[in-house]
Structure 1
Amino acid sequence: MREPYMSAPALPTMSDVAPDPDLFRAAAQILDRGGVVAYPTETVWGLAARPAAAAELYRRKGREADKPLQLSCLDAATALALAVPSPALLALSGCWPGPLTVVTPGQPERLRAWGAGAGAVAPDGWLGLRVPAHPVALALLRAAGGVLATTSLNPSGQAAASSQAEAEAYALADLLLPDVPDAAGQAPRPLAVPSTVLRLPAPGEQVARVLREGGLGRAELAARLAPLGVRVETL
């Protein structure tokens, strides 16, 4: 059994990313046209679209309309700018980049800018924010302006792709960004589990709730929130 992910690995620089920069520019153009791009992460493979075009991710996957998408961000500063500030969110931002999705109230003006897409990423005004720890995912986000609506790469009800071969077999995207080989020419082994999803306390509460167990252990979350008097519980 794989150990829980506890800290972000050192990331390759843009010059280490295998795909040609033209591929990332092509990905951004596809996203601008309302299309979908497949990409690797340190957890499982993902699908990305512009937040305003989030409905396309539901259509490709056959995903239930009442299941929100997450927002993947280039860095912690980008993610924090989308959310209503809070000490708990700031404390957890130290886990980024990494396999943690934090569900927190979003900035109303940012939600309005996404039009109908806001209902897919923030149906109740709360956003699921994540910063991936993978050079290809981050290069895509950089090329696309820093923020994308994302979800795991799989038809609804099937296992998420954990390899490039599985991602290609599902054939859900308009473009697939290949993974980065290591020094031995092998693609890095992902965690093969999704990110941990943690919902922050509502105003007046002191309990954060794990909505989905994943790549980041509960002990790490509890250690970061305990100084604020916030407990971590699992649904």
Structure 2
Amino acid sequence: MTAQQAQMARAAEILAAGGVVGYPTEAVWGLAARPEYAAELHRRKGRELGKPVQVSCPDAPSALAWAWPSAALEALAALWPGPLTVVTAALPACPPDLAPEGQVGLRVPDHPLARALLLAAGPLATTSLNPAGRPAALSRSEAAGYALADLLLGEAGAPETPPAPGGLASTVVALPTRPGDPARVLRAGALPTEQVRAVLAVVGLALEAAP
């Protein structure tokens, strides 16, 4: 067993016991818990219950399995893996804590450690690694300083994949809940809005930029 395999096995054990794991992404550092322990993310961060968290998945097919199919969602799935979170209608089997008001946020990170974690532990409830009101961690040392996770992936002092320029989190796009409405950018982030707009235009859906 390699050192990374051993670390992923340890991460899976921690998550199964209700703990949380910190991990790097191509954007900012993330904090992960098993879906049934999503409330632990709020507790660790010191934020109110009920705020949405993402469901991070190892690949596009596993992400699509959480949501009702649509042409727009299928089109955006072509941008995964990457710094894009899509908020869309959740299937009834999606846990309520992960789908407030029936909407679930789906993400497929493009980072080798993040994807290895998701392959080892399955789809996870995730959020940025930071206390409420503080900037998201951009490095392992910043993540360690926040002391929110039971385990941080990677090795201290090892070279890190740089995060997105400017420390941007993933771009968050909400698909419409009513026919005729546009999609909306809820958070501008590391994936350019124009790239999302071009993909949605192919399926005839307009995109409303973040205010």
Shorter-normalised TM range: over 0.9
Instruction: Assess if the C-alpha contact under 8 Å between 1:104 and 1:126 holds in 2.
Output: yes
Aligned length: 208
Please give the residue correspondences for 1:119-138 in structure 2 after superposition, counting only pairs within 5 Å. 119=97, 121-138=98-115
Distance 2:27 2:156 in 1: 14
Query: Shift of the alpha carbon at 1:20?
Result: 2.5
Q: Provide TM-score, normalisation by structure 1.
A: 0.85
Instruction: Assess if the C-alpha contact under 8 Å between 1:207 and 1:231 holds in 2.
Output: yes
2:15 aligned to which of 19, 31, 36: 31
Is the aligned partner of 1:46 residue 2:21?
A: no
2:125 aligned to which of 135, 149, 166: 149
Percent of aligned positions that are identical: 55
Q: Provide TM-score, normalisation by structure 2.
A: 0.94
Runs of 5+ unmatched residues, structure 1:
1-14
SS of 1:197's equivalent in the other structure is: strand
Superposition RMSD on alpha carbons, in Å?
1.7
Query: Shift of the alpha carbon at 1:227?
Result: 2.0
Distance 2:91 2:155 in 1: 33
Distance 1:152 1:122 in 2: 18
1:78 aligned to which of 62, 67, 88: 62
Match of 1:99 in 2: 83
Instruction: Assess if the C-alpha contact under 8 Å between 1:136 and 1:180 holds in 2.
Output: no
Instruction: Assess if the C-alpha contact under 8 Å between 1:19 and 1:178 holds in 2.
Output: no
Distance 1:174 1:44 in 2: 18
SS of 1:57's equivalent in the other structure is: helix
Match of 1:67 in 2: 51
Match of 1:165 in 2: 141
Distance 1:187 1:29 in 2: 24
Distance 1:26 1:196 in 2: 30
Match of 1:178 in 2: 154
Query: Shift of the alpha carbon at 1:56?
Result: 0.3
Change (3 A) 1:22 1:215: same
Query: Shift of the alpha carbon at 1:179?
Result: 6.1
SS of 1:82's equivalent in the other structure is: coil
Instruction: Assess if the C-alpha contact under 8 Å between 1:92 and 1:221 holds in 2.
Output: yes
Amino acid corresponding to residue 97 of structure 1 in structure 2: P
Query: Shift of the alpha carbon at 1:206?
Result: 3.6
Query: Shift of the alpha carbon at 1:228?
Result: 1.8
1:187 aligned to which of 150, 155, 160: 160
